[in-house]
């Protein structure tokens, strides 16, 4: 049998899905909504836990259809995600440290919550601890962290806002982009404005002065797409070229250098770009007009997708990709959407963020498991998400803080459905959800996700125009102890700094609990077992229904470490649920120096025999933590990169290097014979300094041709 071409298969599949939608899936055009059934009917739910309700409409022609919220766009931040709903509302989930979920609180959410006051949104973007929405008409509103002015709402603004605020002066935006500590807007006509942190010139206005209101990027007037990365920014221009500005330690500006620039510089060799994406870890990618992808910059875990882990200051082609329609980068990994609805990702996969049911890292693209109808993709720091053709969302990777939106914190190396969204069918009526007693239970107005708040019964109602359906939600009638939150403060510390670890325990039942203990475990690599005493034990005499208590430890780390917690360790209390007494592990990360040779040069690369050549290596501490003593070494002629502890031909001793500071090592060499020599340099040769990254301290080869 002769096989049909792939494009013909795709067309036939599209027709098949359309027919299913027309004849088997949706009510007929003339049918009207007759009734709504809400399920489950009368669930019992622990205090603090989530229950997803479903509204099913019955129509006058006898057909039925699930009613609810469907998604039109997605974005992934560092540790949270957001979606744009049909109708223009925005929902977010995950970490809410600085109010980046936008619901008026700073409480994490493992399921989607509605951003307060947003309607008529047309696009969304998420950064590290902040999020933004582009509204109909071109205005922009943002929420979350604002310590660097990343909300763009003016010079007297507060350090964070858990509800949306207007970005000052933006009225004609057509696209938005967010990164660690800055944001940008593409304006009608092709100009770009940015706001927030500007230490490396990422705002592009020729200065390194932060701005809490938007400033114009110098020299750009024909941009058609923008991307904000970790302390740098890029724009795809109308002529197909790409320009970038800001930090350039790994070559992420793509102009063949590692020199920062406070104004846009042109990426080498790209002339047909249709989109651009910028990573938080010093690399960038561009989608080209022929459906291929090129990337440049840092490549520690294969972020450039070309089968190597070698940085490149100019674009390299991602291996094996064609037919790409969209790309998304974030921290150490990238994902691409293909025209057939599949996804391929590459780079770091230590949390399963590539979605291929594996771990480690991959230097060339791998297929995301089980997805064949994607219409959009978003990469976060350690997780990824996809929007499907039917308006539902799937995510995969790390689930710390509830990143995957599925109601728990268990990681997944393959895609799982985000709670609360239903397949979209054009013309179906929408429903709004409400609770009869918000002290007993609350319910999200759009997606039917209810949270038990206290003892008592609440009626949950789904309403469409004059038609409604109801179900009751009741508390579990016994004790249920759960660790609501396990938190390290700070969770990013310098070596030796005291870290406070706090476990918050809640009694989710309606009966008081008595005489139990809470245990904290330091650097336990497996789950604690029942009866396993921790490094710290807190005894609790009584805990009323709905009440909380805490157990705290203080600890000093010299390197990154883990903490876990268990409540009712000895099984002293009979509970309705004995399987939810563990939490963790959480990671306490270290603020460590990051030494990198940002420049290696020679006074001449074509000397004659006997002519002294001066070699100079510039080393920068690319972190916010001071580095102690270390050495820098030159190697006059090595065929390959020097190994750790390999002493060079010239050595410079450095007593220490302050955060974000640089130093140089200079040596002189005289060659006695003609030929080509390869010069290398290495910082912290003897590994005297514990660093964030230990694999990026070598620079070279610099070729010297002696005549």
DSSP secondary structure string for all residues of 243-262: EEEE--TTSTT-SS----EE
Cβ atoms of 689 and 593 within 8 Å: the answer is: yes
Predicted pLDDT of residue 490: 82
Cβ atoms of 393 and 447 within 8 Å: the answer is: no
Q: What pLDDT, in 10s, does the model give residues 302-342?
A: 999 999 999 999 999 999 999 999 999 998 999 999 999 99
The band of 694, judged by pLDDT with boundaries at 50, 70 and 90, is low
DSSP H/E element including 78: none
As given in the structure block, the two tokens for residue 131 are 């999020």
**With pLDDT > 70 as the criterion, what percentage of the chain qualifies?**
94
Q: What pLDDT, in 10s, does the model give residues 165-174?
A: 999 999 999 9
Average pLDDT over residues 220-242: 97
Which residues share a beta bridge with 376? 387
Helix, strand, coil in percent for the chain, rounding step 5: 5, 50, 50
As given in the structure block, the two tokens for residue 403 are 């990143």
- Which is nearest to 329 in space by CA: 309, 304, 366, 364? 304
Q: What pLDDT, in 10s, does the model give residues 4-31?
A: 343 334 433 343 333 333 333 444 455 8
Predicted pLDDT of residue 417: 96
Distance in angstroms (rounded) separating the CA atoms of residues 616 and 149:
38
Lowest mean pLDDT among 146-155, 207-216, 508-517: 508-517
The band of 624, judged by pLDDT with boundaries at 50, 70 and 90, is low
Q: What pLDDT, in 10s, does the model give residues 146-163?
A: 988 999 999 877 789 999
Q: Are strands 492-493 and 582-590 parallel, antiparallel or unpaired?
A: parallel
In angstroms, what CA-CA distances link 590 with 128, 517, 532, 704?
Answer: 18, 30, 28, 40
- pTM equals 0.69
The band of 278, judged by pLDDT with boundaries at 50, 70 and 90, is very high
Select 595-706's CATH number: 3.40.50.970, 2.60.40.10, 3.20.20.30, 3.20.20.210: 2.60.40.10
Residue 559 burial by Cβ neighbours in a 10 Å radius (0-12, 13-18, 19+): exposed
Cβ atoms of 301 and 269 within 8 Å: the answer is: no
Q: What pLDDT, in 10s, does the model give residues 238-263?
A: 999 999 999 998 999 999 999 999 99
Predicted pLDDT of residue 90: 97
Predicted pLDDT of residue 687: 84
Whether residue 701 has a cis bond before it, omega within 30° of 0? yes
According to the per-residue pLDDT averaged within each range, which of 112-126, 413-427, 515-529, 581-595 is highest?
112-126
The band of 659, judged by pLDDT with boundaries at 50, 70 and 90, is confident
Q: For the chain, give every domain's residue range.
A: 41-68+429-475, 69-171, 481-590, 595-706
Q: What is the fold, at CATH topology level, of the domain defined by 481-590?
A: Immunoglobulin-like (2.60.40)
Q: What pLDDT, in 10s, does the model give residues 560-600?
A: 678 899 999 999 998 877 778 898 888 777 777 888 887 88
Residue 25: helix, strand or coil by DSSP? helix
DSSP H/E element including 8: helix 6-20
Check whether 235 has a pLDDT greater than 90. yes
Check whether 623 has a pLDDT greater than 90. no
What's the mean per-residue pLDDT of the chain?
Answer: 89
Distance in angstroms (rounded) separating the CA atoms of residues 693 and 282:
13
Predicted pLDDT of residue 695: 66
Which residues share a beta bridge with 219? none
Distance in angstroms (rounded) separating the CA atoms of residues 317 and 306:
6
Average pLDDT over residues 78-101: 94
Dihedral sign of CA atoms 264, 265, 267, 269 in order: positive
- What order do you get walking across the sheet with 498-507 strand by strand? 481-489, 498-507, 548-556
Predicted pLDDT of residue 378: 98
Predicted pLDDT of residue 25: 43
Please, what's the b/e burial string for 195-229 (b: 16 or more CB within 10 A of its CB; e: otherwise)? bbbbbbbbbbbeeeebbbbbbebbebeebbbbbbb
Predicted pLDDT of residue 30: 59
In angstroms, what CA-CA distances link 701 with 97, 637, 682?
Answer: 44, 9, 11
According to the per-residue pLDDT averaged within each range, which of 219-228, 450-459, 571-580, 662-671 is highest?
219-228
The band of 462, judged by pLDDT with boundaries at 50, 70 and 90, is very high
- What order do you get walking across the sheet with 242-246 strand by strand? 223-229, 232-237, 242-246, 261-266
Which residues share a beta bridge with 558? none
Average pLDDT over residues 374-381: 96
Select 41-68+429-475's CATH number: 2.60.40.1080, 3.90.45.10, 1.10.1510.10, 2.60.120.380: 2.60.40.1080
Distance in angstroms (rounded) separating the CA atoms of residues 174 and 343:
26
Q: Residues near 651 by Cβ (< 8 Å), separated by ≥ 6?
A: 631, 632, 633, 634, 685
As given in the structure block, the two tokens for residue 655 are 């007593």
Predicted pLDDT of residue 12: 39
Q: What pLDDT, in 10s, does the model give residues 680-689?
A: 999 988 888 8
Asked if domains 41-68+429-475 and 481-590 share a fold, the reply is: yes
Check whether 48 has a pLDDT greater than 80. no
Predicted pLDDT of residue 518: 96
Lowest mean pLDDT among 25-29, 120-124, 154-158, 533-537: 25-29
Instruction: Write out the CATH class of domain 69-171.
Output: mainly beta
Lowest mean pLDDT among 397-406, 446-455, 545-554: 446-455
Residue 193: helix, strand or coil by DSSP? strand
- Which is nearest to 226 in space by CA: 238, 214, 215? 238
């Amino acid at each position: 049998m002769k096989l049909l071409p792939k494009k013909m298969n795709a067309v036939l599949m599209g027709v098949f899905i359309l027919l299913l939608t027309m004849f088997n899936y949706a009510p007929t055009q003339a049918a009207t909504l007759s009734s709504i059934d809400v399920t489950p009917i009368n669930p019992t739910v622990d205090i603090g836990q989530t229950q997803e309700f479903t509204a099913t409409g019955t129509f006058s022609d006898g057909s039925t259809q699930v009613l609810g919220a469907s998604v039109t766009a997605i974005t992934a931040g560092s540790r949270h995600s957001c979606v744009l709903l049909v109708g223009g509302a925005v929902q977010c989930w995950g970490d809410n440290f600085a109010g980046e979920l936008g619901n008026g609180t700073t409480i994490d959410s493992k399921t989607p919550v509605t951003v307060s006051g947003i309607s008529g949104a047309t696009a969304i973007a998420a950064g590290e601890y902040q999020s933004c929405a582009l509204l109909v008409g071109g205005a922009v509103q943002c929420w979350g962290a604002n310590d660097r002015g990343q909300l763009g709402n003016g010079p007297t603004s507060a350090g964070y806002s858990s509800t949306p605020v207007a970005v000052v002066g933006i009225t004609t935006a057509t696209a938005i982009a967010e990164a660690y500590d800055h944001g940008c807007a593409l304006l009608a006509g092709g100009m770009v404005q940015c706001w927030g942190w500007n230490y490396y010139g990422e705002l592009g206005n020729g200065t390194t002065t932060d701005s809490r209101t938007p400033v114009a990027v110098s020299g750009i007037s024909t941009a058609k797409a923008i991307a904000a990365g970790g302390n740098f920014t890029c724009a795809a221009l109308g002529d197909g070229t790409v320009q970038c500005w800001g930090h350039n330690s790994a070559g992420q500006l793509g102009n063949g250098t590692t020199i920062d620039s406070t104004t846009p510089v042109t990426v080498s060799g790209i002339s047909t770009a249709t989109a651009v994406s910028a990573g938080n870890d010093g690399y960038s990618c561009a989608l080209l007009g022929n459906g291929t992808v090129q990337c440049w910059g840092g490549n520690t875990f294969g972020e450039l997708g070309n089968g190597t882990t070698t940085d490149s200051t100019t674009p390299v082609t991602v291996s094996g990709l064609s037919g790409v329609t969209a790309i998304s980068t974030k921290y150490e990994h990238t994902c691409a959407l293909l025209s057939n609805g599949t996804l391929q990702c590459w780079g770091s996969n230590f949390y399963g963020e590539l979605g291929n049911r594996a771990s480690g890292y991959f230097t060339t693209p791998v297929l995301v498991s089980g997805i064949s109808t994607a219409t959009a993709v978003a990469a976060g720091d350690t997780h990824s998400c996809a929007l499907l053709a039917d308006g539902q969302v799937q995510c995969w990777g790390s689930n710390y803080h509830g990143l995957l939106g599925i109601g728990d914190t268990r990681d997944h190396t393959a895609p799982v459905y985000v709670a609360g969204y239903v397949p979209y069918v054009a013309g179906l009526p929408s429903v709004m959800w409400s609770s009869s007693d918000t002290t007993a239970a609350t319910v999200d107005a759009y997606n039917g996700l209810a949270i038990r708040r206290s003892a008592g019964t609440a009626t949950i109602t789904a309403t469409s125009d004059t038609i409604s359906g109801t179900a009751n939600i009741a508390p579990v009638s016994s004790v249920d102890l759960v660790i609501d939150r396990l938190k390290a403060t700070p969770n990013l510390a310098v070596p030796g700094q005291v870290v406070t670890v706090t476990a918050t325990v809640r009694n989710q039942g309606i009966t008081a609990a008595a005489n139990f203990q809470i245990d904290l475990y330091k650097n336990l690599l497996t789950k604690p077992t029942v009866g396993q005493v921790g490094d710290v034990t807190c005894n609790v005499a009584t805990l009323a229904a709905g009440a909380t208590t805490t157990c705290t430890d203080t600890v000093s780390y010299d390197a990154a470490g883990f903490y876990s917690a268990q409540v009712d360790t000895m099984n002293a209390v009979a509970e309705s649920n004995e399987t939810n007494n563990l939490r963790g592990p959480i990671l306490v990360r270290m603020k460590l120096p990051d030494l990198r040779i940002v420049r290696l040069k020679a006074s001449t690369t074509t000397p004659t025999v006997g002519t002294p050549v001066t070699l100079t290596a510039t080393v920068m501490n690319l972190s916010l933590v001071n580095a102690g003593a270390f050495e820098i070494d030159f190697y006059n002629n090595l065929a390959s990169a020097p190994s750790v502890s390999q002493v060079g031909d010239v050595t410079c001793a450095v007593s220490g290097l302050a955060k974000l500071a640089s130093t140089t090592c200079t040596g002189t060499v005289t060659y006695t014979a003609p030929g080509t020599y390869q010069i290398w340099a290495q910082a912290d040769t003897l590994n005297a300094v514990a660093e964030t990254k230990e694999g990026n301290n070598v620079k070279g080869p610099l070729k010297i041709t002696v005549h």
